A and B are shown apart, each in its own frame.
Chain A
Amino acid sequence: MIEVRELRREFKVATSKGLRRNYKTVTAVDDVTFDVREGEAVGYVGPNGAGKSTTIKMLTGILVPTSGHIRVGGVDPSKQRRDLARRIGVVFGQRSQLWWDLPLKDSFDLLKSIYRVSAPDYRTRLDECVELLGLQEFLVTPVRQLSLGQRMRGEITAALLHAPELLVLDEPTIGLDLESKERLREFLQDINTRRGTTLLLTTHDLDDIERLCPRLMVIDHGKVLADGPLDELRAEVTPERVLVIDLTEPGPAPDVPGVTAVRSEAGGLRHHLTFRRAETTAAALITQVVRQVEVHDLAVVEPEIDDVIRKLYQRQVAQDANR
């Protein structure tokens, strides 16, 4: 579905003001290479300014690459932007493709004409989205009066009316409450598995990736740092997990082989223990711990996605230094 080879995009940024300006070249996307097969769901993550949105703009044909090769659905996006636009759907979490002053339904009608969707197809697809996303109650409400959660459901519907082969989502769950996020994820998973729509989504929310994307791509400073299943990446980069235990009475940390007590809090009531996932399981560890001390509560903490990315980035810097 997507084929990207040594993709590169540079921008000129002014470094001084005045009549004689100096420019420096900033590389937003730096020799990026990847493939996405049909029906895949890929999470594309990285810190702000990593080059995610620039990549997406090149994939949709809005931005022309400085160099490199892109094919989306077999076509060159910037050369055949209009043909491609009919075959892909894009949702920008922070922008709206709906008409602000029109009722939601009127926006859909306009998109039907813009994308030249036949009347029966339009009706089936709209009905499906209305049912699955629960749009009925605000279908005739002007977009400006919708809550963010309602609007995002509308945005996703708008992107799906022409039954795209690929759905690109740029931070679709940003700012949503837990219930709205959950509902959206369920729906996206459904269209991915049932309709076979390829998903490419950028996000800062680890749960989005965990729920939706078997595959994760990490980018920072314009370079792909890692590409593979989330669990593998996490195990590889941050092999240590943390077990947090709250004791019923203050005391020293339990002594279990293969476990390091990194921190104790509240005068010995709470202890942070790290262990390597390759060496022991959380269950085995907990069994040993409760044998030694009386535990009031415990939690296993997974490394945050930001930690994973930071570690990946540090690794990249170290590799560059060794070269």
Chain B
Amino acid sequence: MNKRAVFKSWWLPVLFALPQLLLILFFFYWPAISVFNWAFTLEPAFGGAGERLFVGLDNFRDVFADREYWRSVSLSLFFAFTATGLSMLIAFVLAICVDRQLKGSGLFRFFYIWPYAIAAPAVGLAFRFIFAPESGLIAVVNTWSPDLWNPAKYGSHAMILIIICFAWKWIGYNFIFMTAGLQSIPRSLLEASSMDGSGPVRRALDIQIPLLAPTLFFLLVLNLTESFVGPDTFGIVDLTTEGGPNKATDVMVYRIVSEAFRGLNYSGAAAQSLVLIALIMVFTFIQFRFVERRVHYK
């Protein structure tokens, strides 16, 4: 990131950077330091005055000893991998189809992007209705046999519901990046291969998918991060299941926020937050290394 022509001034860049710097110091780093502080300390008993009590790794030990926590971790993992897989698979099939550039595929592309515009809570509310046990689209199965589908009662159904919400919303995003990736594959490559007698399926398998691999990898990491710790997961869970029934959809993001606010267990929530931040760092690191290598500046 070096430019030959640069301006000489020491105070101008400071002045230009200052607004953003102040905002991130106040609203990102100071809170992050508090989280760090809380994770290793305890509030004095009875909210008394005085220094916070340093307890080392005790908060983490408490969190890790809690079976509920590990249940939440495994729920999050299950949610993240299934939702990501489902969303990417559907988006991929649609992107490959649209990229064949048949007549009218532009129209399909126009609509496939729409889900990304809808906020996660709105998606949650809409799908809560569509998949409601007493009315909506799926309710008809309950007339065949009562409670065949009831996300308010069965944990597995609730999990399916939030997976569908997330996957549906992210189809739009994944589709955008996959079509962009497919478009950047040189047409001449595909033409040459069709001259050699390959059909569309063979071209997709041997040219398009391998060349799309970097995009797919990028999307995989991004989807996993978003479904694991993203705001969309929180919004969806909050508007559909609220972590229930019986904590069957109490994924990590939702748990942290609700524990911090309802349970008032700041130290426990802070310890869990730190674990999550560490996970995000790993994800981001993988992504950044890979992305930086791909982008070249002239």
Bound together = no
Interface residues of B (CB under 8 A from A): none
Report which A residues bind B (CB closer than 8 A). Answer: none
